[in-house]
């Protein structure tokens, strides 16, 4: 039951209709008996400052930020964590006593999603990252923190990819049509679902594909790899683990990522919102 005491949480993005964050967080809110609602709002880039300040004015606890707002939202924060500042993007905001504190839970979400599904990457084979936005920054941060692998970032705008050398000076960059190294061990797609991706035909048979998109479960990127016999995972597990880290920031309680949560993300057993 929604009452005047019910608190508000949200995810802001454009587009946002595909998001399963409300279903996921609703499982946790119901499980722990927290009087709050988590809603998704489609917000145009020019309206982002108004949307964030509006949520703050309504007494919201905080919100998640997704494409294409992760970098723009950082400038609207009163304070950001050192990791979020280094990444140059935020995906979680905490509203506290009139201030907005920015966090980035993408690195932990990506890493936990990776190690629960894919054999541990090896240092001597490169990992390719497609895209150079806020999500790519989180992926690079996680891989650099946990592994010493060579990273190749490919993006439609080369200058945007080269700017990521502020995170990792040794980063190798190139345009999106760059041939992928024949010894690539993983390709991580941070581009929006349906974006044009490089030719995957030259990849070795043991290469993994990791698409941060999760809706539909078999994205065009993963389908292209599947046709070539490549194994792949989508971003459902990343969503769950970065969401759990955000939930812990709001409620000082780390929720379990279990079957019920994954079913909610995958569109099954979805709670009424």
Residue 39 within any structural domain of the chain = yes
- How far apart, in Å, are the Cα atoms of 41 and each of 27, 54, 121? 19, 12, 36
**Domains of the chain: total:** 2
Distance of CA 86 to the CA centre of its chain: 16
pTM of the model: 0.92
- Separation between Cα atoms, residue 189 and residue 201, nearest integer Å: 16
Q: pLDDT tens-digit profile of 36-82?
A: 999 999 999 999 999 999 999 999 999 999 999 999 999 999 999 99
129 and 185 fall within a common domain: yes
Task: Answer yes or no: is pLDDT of 28 > 70.
Answer: yes
Residue 261, pLDDT score: 97
Cβ proximity of 190 and 131 under 8 Å: yes
Q: CA 131 to CA 236: how far, in whole Å?
A: 19
Place of tokens 């990506």: 110
**Residue 165 per-residue DSSP state:** G
182 within some domain = yes
Domain that holds residue 163: 108-234
One domain for residues 138 and 254:
no
Active site annotation includes 7: no
208 and 98 assigned to the same domain? no
Give the domain CATH number at 260.
3.40.50.10860
Mean pLDDT of 257-262: 96
Q: Which residues pair with 154 in a beta bridge?
A: 130, 174
pLDDT for res 147 = 85
pLDDT in tens, 247-256: 999 999 999 9
Q: Which residues sit opposite 237 in a β-bridge? A: none
202-206 own/partner pairs: CB under 8 Å, 24+ apart: 203/228, 203/230, 205/229, 205/230
Q: What is the mean pLDDT of residues 160-181?
A: 93
In this structure, the answer to whether residues 70 and 132 fall within a common structural domain is no
Model confidence at 269, in pLDDT bands (50, 70, 90)?
very low
């Amino acid at each position: 039951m929604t009452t005047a005491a019910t608190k508000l949480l949200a995810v802001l993005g454009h587009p946002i209709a595909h998001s399963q964050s409300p279903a996921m967080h609703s499982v946790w809110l119901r499980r722990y008996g927290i009087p709050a609602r988590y809603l998704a709002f489609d917000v145009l880039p020019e309206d982002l400052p108004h949307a964030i300040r509006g949520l703050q004015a309504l007494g919201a606890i905080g919100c998640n930020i997704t494409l294409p707002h992760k970098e723009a939202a950082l400038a609207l924060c009163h304070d950001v964590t050192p990791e979020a500042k280094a990444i140059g993007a935020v995906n979680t905001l905490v509203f506290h006593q009139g201030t907005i504190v920015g966090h980035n839970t993408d690195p932990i979400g990506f890493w936990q999603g990776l190690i629960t599904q894919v054999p541990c990457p090896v240092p001597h084979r490169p990992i390719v990252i497609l895209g150079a936005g806020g999500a790519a920054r989180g992926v690079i941060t996680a891989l650099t923190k946990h592994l010493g692998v060579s990273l190749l970032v490919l993006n439609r705008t080369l200058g945007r990819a080269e700017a990521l050398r502020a995170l990792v000076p040794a980063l190798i960059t190139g345009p999106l049509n760059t041939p992928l190294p024949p010894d690539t061990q993983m390709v991580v797609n941070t581009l929006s679902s349906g974006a044009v991706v490089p030719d995957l035909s030259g990849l070795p048979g043991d290469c993994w594909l990791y698409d941060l998109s999760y809706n539909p479960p078999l994205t065009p990127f993963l389908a292209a790899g599947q046709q070539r016999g490549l194994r792949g995972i989508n971003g459902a597990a990343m969503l769950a683990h970065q969401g759990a880290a955000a939930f812990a920031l709001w409620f000082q309680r780390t929720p379990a990522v279990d079957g019920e949560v994954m079913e909610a993300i995958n569109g099954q057993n979805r709670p009424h919102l």
